[in-house]
Amino acid sequence: MTFIDNYPKSAKIAKANFLVAFIALAIGGLFGLIQALHRTGWARNIISSAEYYTMLTGHGVLLALVFTTFFIAGLFVWGVTRSLDREPENMAFSWSWFWIMLIGTLMATVAILGGFVEGSSIRAAVLYTFYPPMQAHPLFYIGAALLIIGSWMAGADWFRSYLAWRKEHPDERIPLQTYMTLFTMLMWYVCTVGVALEVVVLLIPWSLGWVNQIDPLLPRTLFWYFGHAVVYFWLLPAYFVWYSILPKLSGGRLFSDSMARIVFIIFLILSTPVGYHHQYADPGITVGFKFYAMATTLLLLLPSLLTLFTVVASMEHGAKQRGGKGYFAWLGKLPWGEPAFAGCALAGIMFAAGGFSGIINAAMNINILVHNTIWVPGHFHLTVGTAVALTFMAISYWLVPQLTGRKLKNKTLALIQPYLWFLGMTLMSNAMHRGGLAGIPRRTAEPNYSQFDFEAVFGTISEIKWQIAIGGILLTVSLVFFLWVIFNSWFRGERADKPVDDFIPAALSGPEHAPKILDNIKLWVLLAIALVLIAYSVPLAEMVMDGLFSPGAPTIPV
Amino acid sequence: MHIHRFERFWIGVSLVAIAIFIATVVIGFSVYDLRVIGAEKTVDPQNLQETKFADPGVRKAEPGSEVDYEVYVMSRQFMFNPGTAEPITVPTDAKIRFHITSPDVLHGFEVVGTNLNTMVIPGQVATFTTRFDTPKTYGLLCNEYCGAAHHVMEGRLKVVSKSQFNEKQLVQ
């Protein structure tokens, strides 16, 4: 018996979410390869430089918003169902949020892909940050709004399951996987208020032509109210995997259940009031609020450092169960030959590197050196592009068999895949960071200028380009391996009663040692709202008071 | 609640590290005068002809001003004025204040290889003060996506020695 046998309805909806996620991953990944080749000048004839920006929009939206949101929905359906031991309360409701998210995704995707059709008026080359006054087709904004509304309903679905479970279990602690799901979604509710207001109140009326000017700073600020917390919406499900599954894959048990809860509380409280750290270089926001955002950003290092401790301690425990010894020799006893473990562990290692460049980004007067350079995508291809994406891919090798009741096929290919991703990302990301130090901008089709040349701080500019192109090719090969293994296993895998060992043992220090206050959802939500109000009420009030659409810039269609 | 003594130690080390990171920024601000852009003033992006951006370029600062020169730069799809057609020319050993805005979309103003780097937002004026010690010509580029020809938006910033700086070229 595995997940699909115990919870067939949940398995079906989780699979539907994974399917959309993997299709988005395939298209977004292909776009990434073409961009790497275009930017570096290795192949400038696949698309035009104007089309580059349409492709970049597709890459960002399909990977950062669609792949992540659908994968996370599938993962949380699995986690809530198994940890509460109950399927969703109402399947019609569950399928309705899935379809709303999917319809929104299709609308936005059509708007973006319209940019490849000559003469099309349906275009959305506004990148995934869609800063006005550059204007996309209304389909793009309405689609984005539907994706977010669907995700809110998904969260409501999991709360509904929790409340129904609570009625039957009045005195039990919230099971850890449900706890992590609920806290991730609470953070998501707090932060998506910003982008929902931006899109529904400002951008949709403006794109429909009901107003003919827009104040660029206000929507940009509302976007970044959401835009950093969204990275924790991607990251926390990876933490969910690292806390609740990785210890088991290492052969051991979670080190501390209470520490996992504390980490998720800190993320709920601190994720949103950090948004200005994406606006350090913006005129129109006072330095004091930028400083407040910086302090909260750096405090967010704490939960990640705590995670590092607990996850490594759990892995050490696992390795020692497998006969590992010594201070470091135990590392060799970890199951490096298992694709799910290897992928999660390599993702964790890259996250540490991404954390270091993140500290540079967070420090506001150092950030100015790298602001909007290719350093920044170098950073987030380590975090969302590896810590999150590689964890999602790796854990799919363990989840998809449970959801389909079929064994994993092509295990060798599955094992090579995370190592290849690690290698490709090492090449691409180090080169992007160094390119940023030389001042090479991000989001640029042709970073070659006629009036000056870049000077590399380490290495040479041509070697940097070479590493970006080779890295991009290796990442694409790795992605093809992943998709092939999943496709083959999903549809042609050998049916088995127990396709993987899906038993998750209890934590070494379980919830009985966690203070009750950690499960006080209301308290932590109120604290989160208070910190957001401190950060945002005054600046937003100032921007709104001179008129919602003023100082108004004229509309510029893309 | 039980917290392992190694974990207590780790939490302590983490908090100290975070305090040090924040301190580096505070020291940068107070000792090395490393500032970031703040909120200066807003303008109506549809009426820039009534401001000094109507006649952009390098100006002598008003008498009694805390700076020596004021530079007004208009960033628009897909050029800096001045900067693209002719370089922005400023002298060494002078306090120079830049004012940058845009009449159309978001742009970036990046002097390559320096920490002169700001967003340019319609409706807002980005203002920062700097000085150059040695003559050098820097590259200038737009680092925020601003449309289909974003990648051609570039220019130069030319720093000449104070003795060679021709004040007759200033905007009056």
With CB atoms and an 8 Å threshold, state whether A285 touches B2. no
Residues forming a β-bridge with A163: none
With CB atoms and an 8 Å threshold, state whether B127 touches A283. yes
CB pairs under 8 A between A and B: 226
Residue A53 contacts B, CB cutoff 8 Å: yes
Instruction: Determine phi and psi for A487, rounding to 5 degrees.
Output: -60, -50
> How high is the pLDDT of residue B29?
87
CB atoms under 10 Å from CB of A541, counted, come to 9
Nearest beta carbon to residue B11 from set A294, A306, A368? A306
Residue A305 contacts B, CB cutoff 8 Å: yes
> How high is the pLDDT of residue B143?
97
Residue B127 contacts A, CB cutoff 8 Å: yes
The helix/strand/coil state of A27 is helix
Residues B156 and B137: their CA atoms lie apart, in Å, by: 7
Which chain A residues are Cβ-neighbours of B103 within 8 angstroms?
A: 553
Which chain B residues are Cβ-neighbours of A443 within 8 angstroms?
A: 143-145, 150
CA distance A402 to chain B (A): 34
Query: What's the rounded mean pLDDT across residues A302-331?
Result: 93
The helix/strand/coil state of B141 is strand
Residue B3 contacts A, CB cutoff 8 Å: yes
Q: Please report, rounded to a whole number, the percentage of residues in chain A having pLDDT higher than 90.
A: 94
Q: Which residue has the tokens 């100082």?
A: A551
> How high is the pLDDT of residue B1?
74
> How high is the pLDDT of residue A550?
86
> How high is the pLDDT of residue B32?
86
User: Does A126 have pLDDT greater than 90?
Assistant: yes
With CB atoms and an 8 Å threshold, state whether A450 touches B154. yes
Would you call A211 exposed, middle or buried from its count of C-beta atoms within 10 A (0-12, 13-18, 19+)? middle
The nearest alpha carbon in chain A to B16 belongs to A302
Q: Which of residues 469-528 of A touch B (CB under 8 A)?
A: 509, 513-515
The more confidently predicted of residues A174 and B3 is: A174
Q: What is the mean pLDDT of chain A?
A: 96
Residues A413 and B9: their CA atoms lie apart, in Å, by: 41
> How high is the pLDDT of residue A532?
94
Alpha helices by DSSP H, A245-300: 246-249, 257-270, 287-299
DSSP state of B161: -
Query: What's the rounded mean pLDDT across residues A45-49?
Result: 95
Task: Render B14-63 in DSSP notation, one character per residue.
Answer: HHHHHHHHHHHHHHHHHTT--------EE--TT-GGGSGGGS-EEEEPPT
Give tens-digit pLDDT for A228-263: 999 999 999 999 999 999 999 999 999 999 999 999
User: Does A503 have pLDDT greater than 80?
Assistant: yes
Bridge-based pairing state of the strands B124-130 and B41-42? antiparallel
> How high is the pLDDT of residue A511?
87
Degrees to nearest 5, angle at CA B125 with B91 and A452: 45
Query: What's the rounded mean pLDDT across residues A123-144?
Result: 96
First to last CA, chain A: 53
Q: A368, A517, A542: best mutation site toward chain B, by most B Cβ within 10 Å?
A: A368
User: Does A355 have pLDDT greater than 80?
Assistant: yes
> How high is the pLDDT of residue A501?
95
Degrees to nearest 5, angle at CA B149 with B144 and B153: 60
With CB atoms and an 8 Å threshold, state whether A443 touches B145. yes
> How high is the pLDDT of residue B35?
83
Query: What's the rounded mean pLDDT across residues A340-344?
Result: 98
> How high is the pLDDT of residue A413?
98
Q: Which of residues 6-65 of B touch A (CB under 8 A)?
A: 6-7, 10-11, 14-15, 17-18, 21-22, 24-25, 28-29, 34-40, 42-46
Query: What's the rounded mean pLDDT across residues A539-547?
Result: 90
Residue A368 contacts B, CB cutoff 8 Å: yes
Nearest beta carbon to residue B24 from set A282, A363, A550? A363
Give tens-digit pLDDT for A144-171: 999 999 999 999 999 999 999 999 999 9
Task: Render A186-251 in DSSP notation, one character per residue.
Answer: HHHHHHHHHHHHIIIIIIHHHHTTSSSEE-THHHHHHHHHHHTHHHHHHHHHHHHHHHHTHHHHTT
Asked if A353 and A382 count as a contact pair (C-beta separation under 8 A), the reply is yes
Query: What's the rounded mean pLDDT across residues A14-35?
Result: 98
With CB atoms and an 8 Å threshold, state whether A284 touches B142. no
The helix/strand/coil state of A125 is coil
User: Does A206 have pLDDT greater than 80?
Assistant: yes
Residues A489 and A495: their CA atoms lie apart, in Å, by: 10
Q: A307, A372, A448, A513: best mutation site toward chain B, by most B Cβ within 10 Å?
A: A372
User: Does A315 have pLDDT greater than 80?
Assistant: yes
Asked if A277 and A213 count as a contact pair (C-beta separation under 8 A), the reply is no
Q: Is A443 a catalytic residue?
A: yes
Which chain B residues are Cβ-neighbours of A220 within 8 angstroms?
A: 106, 121
The more confidently predicted of residues A366 and A93 is: A93
> Which residues, 6 or more positions from A244, have their beta carbon under 8 angstroms from its beta carbon?
A79, A176, A177, A180, A254, A260, A504
Residues forming a β-bridge with B70: B59, B97
CA distance B19 to chain A (A): 9
The helix/strand/coil state of A449 is coil
Which chain B residues are Cβ-neighbours of A449 within 8 angstroms?
A: 139, 141, 154
CA distance B95 to chain A (A): 20
Q: Please report, rounded to a whole number, the percentage of residues in chain A having pLDDT higher than 70.
A: 100
Query: Own/partner pairs for B82-88, CB < 8 Å, 24+ apart?
Result: B82/B56, B82/B57, B82/B58, B82/B155, B83/B140, B83/B155, B83/B156, B83/B157, B84/B153, B84/B154, B84/B155, B87/B137, B87/B155, B87/B156, B87/B157, B87/B158, B88/B57, B88/B58, B88/B140, B88/B155, B88/B156, B88/B157, B88/B158
> How high is the pLDDT of residue B107?
98
Residues A410 and A89: their CA atoms lie apart, in Å, by: 37
Q: Is A228 a catalytic residue?
A: yes
Residues A11 and A222: their CA atoms lie apart, in Å, by: 36
Which stretches in chain B have pLDDT values below 70? none
**pLDDT confidence tier of residue A189, bands split at 50, 70 and 90:** very high
Q: Is the peptide bond before A551 cis (omega within 30 degrees of 0)?
A: yes
Amino acid at B94: A
What sign results for the dihedral spanned by CA atoms A438, A444, A445, A451? negative
> How high is the pLDDT of residue B150?
97
Q: Out of A380, A392, A397, A549, which one is annotated catalytic?
A: A380
CA distance A215 to chain B (A): 7
Asked if A289 and A225 count as a contact pair (C-beta separation under 8 A), the reply is no
> Which residues, 6 or more positions from A402, have their beta carbon under 8 angstroms from its beta carbon?
A2, A3, A4, A11, A78, A499, A500, A502
